[in-house]
């Protein structure tokens, strides 16, 4: 739905896939779930890059929360902005007052309470824990898309919450029916 409607359109709930020509190493071969997009700017979480040597139980212990029922899940590199701030992107079966419901199936919570709920085994069914986020000022994301830096792809739960992080970028591109070698970094029109 969104891939042809990005110019001034709301990309909230879609995936941004970095073009092969992306030169910013922070975003090279990234897949970003867009949590919010408006005329004021955009915010999203990288869903295919992991933090080195940091797992959910270790993070919980750092926060003085007993891991309990928490699985040994990785922590994602959510983006370069506020890299010490935590976010949980999750299925919408868990919602609290501070949860931002993004789509019918996906929500975002950035409180310590969601981590406590996960440790108790009462959290969302599927989730991505991330430190940091990707952010764009007013018009910046639209300009980057026009400059051929990103493709917009409809999101699906397997790309968002699946554990095959090494192949999420290729799988997101495949949703458009393209392979990375066929993409050009040159902007233009047919």
* Number of domains present in the structure of the chain: 1
- To the nearest 10°, report the CA torsion of 170, 171, 172, 173: 50
124 lies in some domain: yes
pLDDT band for position 1 (cuts 50, 70, 90): very low
78 lies in some domain: yes
- pLDDT at residue 185 tops 80: no
151 pairs with which residues across the strands? 17
pLDDT of residue 144: 93
129 lies in some domain: yes
| Residue length of the chain | 190
Query: Which domain covers residue 84, as residue numbers?
Result: 14-176
22 lies in some domain: yes
Global pTM reads: 0.88
Tell me the pairing of strands 50-55 and 74-77. Answer: antiparallel
Share of the chain above pLDDT 70, in %: 90
Residue 66 structure tokens: 């007993």
- pLDDT at residue 84 tops 70: yes
Mean pLDDT of 95-101: 96
For residue 89, give the CATH number of its domain.
Answer: 3.40.1740.10
């Amino acid at each position: 739905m969104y891939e042809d409607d990005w110019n001034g359109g709301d990309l909230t709930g879609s995936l941004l896939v970095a073009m092969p020509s992306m030169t910013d190493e922070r975003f090279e071969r990234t897949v970003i779930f867009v949590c919010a997009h408006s005329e004021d700017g955009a915010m999203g979480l990288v869903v295919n890059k992991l933090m080195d040597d940091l797992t959910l139980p270790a993070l919980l212990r750092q926060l003085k929360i007993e891991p309990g029922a928490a699985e040994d899940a990785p922590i994602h590199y959510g983006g370069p902005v506020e890299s010490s701030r935590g976010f949980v992107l999750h299925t919408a079966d868990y919602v609290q007052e501070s949860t931002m419901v993004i789509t019918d199936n996906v929500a975002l919570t950035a409180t310590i309470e969601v981590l406590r709920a996960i440790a108790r085994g009462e959290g969302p069914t599927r989730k991505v824990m991330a430190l940091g986020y990707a952010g764009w000022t007013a018009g910046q994301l639209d300009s980057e898309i026009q400059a051929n830096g990103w493709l917009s792809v409809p999101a699906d739960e397997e790309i968002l919450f699946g554990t095959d992080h090494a192949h999420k970028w290729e799988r997101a591109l495949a949703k458009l029916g393209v392979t990375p070698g066929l993409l050009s970094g040159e902007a233009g029109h047919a």
